[in-house]
């Protein structure tokens, strides 16, 4: 049985994951409208993955006797002034998600809820990968600079980058 504090913390994380899905979805839509098929494909896949992260938390909370709350979602505000700005925003968001997961882990340890702590280790590992992916993409964007040919190749590479990350939820 989940304590009220664990249930509240999980419900807060459900909201974070739902918002993450919306942010990736907004980025996907923007990239698609701009004609960047590869980036759009990557972002759509990431949006789906974040939704799966949310669903995993919903099912866990309910199975442990809690009551998962399905949150309102945010309307993402994106900085689309450049690809670097967009992907920097994405990286900063993933860092925030990692901090949120760490807070949830901290609550589970404080409550001596070792089942929840064990469950959350998957999220800890996943966030390490999410941050690394965002950093790798930012590094590539920094290498490209303002080169239009490089941006074309980057967009094309993003099609292959999609869904091929270790630990991604299918």
pLDDT tens figures, 31-40: 999 999 999 9
Q: Is residue 90 part of a domain?
A: yes
pLDDT, greater one: 136 or 169:
136
CA–CA dist 96, 99 (Å, integer): 5
* Cα 3 versus chain centre, distance: 26
Q: Is residue 170 part of a domain?
A: no
Checking if the pLDDT of 83 tops 90, the result is no
- What CATH number corresponds to the domain at position 88? 1.20.1260.10
Residue 109: how many other CB atoms lie within 10 Å: 13
At which residue do the structure tokens 């990350």 appear? 165
127 assigned binding-site residue: yes
- Nearest C-alpha neighbor of 14 from the set 135, 83, 104, 118: 104
Residue 28: how many other CB atoms lie within 10 Å: 21
Q: Is residue 92 part of a domain?
A: yes
Number of domains composing the chain: 1
- Given this model, what pLDDT does residue 162 score? 52
Q: Is residue 112 classed exposed, middle or buried when 0-12, 13-18 and 19+ CB atoms within 10 A define those classes? A: exposed
Instruction: Quote the longest CA-to-CA distance of the chain.
Output: 56
Dihedral Cα 41, 73, 7, 110, nearest 10 deg: 70
- Given this model, what pLDDT does residue 161 score? 77
129 assigned binding-site residue: no
At which residue do the structure tokens 């998962």 appear? 68
130 assigned binding-site residue: no
17 assigned binding-site residue: yes
pLDDT tens digits along 90-142: 999 999 999 999 999 999 999 999 999 999 999 999 999 999 999 999 999 99
Q: Is residue 167 part of a domain?
A: no
Residue 156 domain boundaries: 4-161
- Nearest C-alpha neighbor of 120 from the set 76, 110, 158, 151: 110
* Least reliable range by pLDDT among 18-27, 29-38, 40-49, 144-153: 144-153
94 assigned binding-site residue: yes
What mean pLDDT comes out for the span 33-60? 96
Q: Is residue 122 part of a domain?
A: yes
- Given this model, what pLDDT does residue 165 score? 47
In this prediction the pTM is: 0.91
CA–CA dist 7, 1 (Å, integer): 10
Tallying the residues shown for the chain, one arrives at 170
């Amino acid at each position: 049985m989940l304590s009220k504090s664990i249930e509240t913390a999980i419900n807060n994380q459900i909201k974070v994951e739902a918002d993450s899905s919306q942010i990736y979805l907004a980025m996907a839509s923007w990239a698609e409208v701009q004609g960047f098929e590869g980036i759009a494909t990557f972002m759509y896949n990431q949006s789906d993955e974040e939704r799966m992260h949310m669903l995993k938390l919903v099912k866990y909370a309910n199975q442990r006797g809690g009551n998962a709350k399905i949150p309102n979602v945010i309307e993402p505000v994106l900085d689309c002034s450049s690809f670097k700005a967009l992907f920097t925003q994405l990286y900063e968001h993933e860092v925030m998600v990692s901090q949120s997961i760490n807070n949830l882990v901290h609550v589970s340890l404080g409550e001596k809820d070792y089942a929840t702590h064990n469950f959350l280790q998957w999220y800890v590992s996943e966030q390490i990968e999410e941050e690394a992916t965002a950093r790798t993409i930012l590094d590539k964007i920094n290498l490209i600079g303002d080169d239009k040919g490089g941006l074309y190749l980057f967009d094309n590479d993003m099609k292959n980058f999609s869904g091929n990350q270790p630990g991604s939820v299918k």
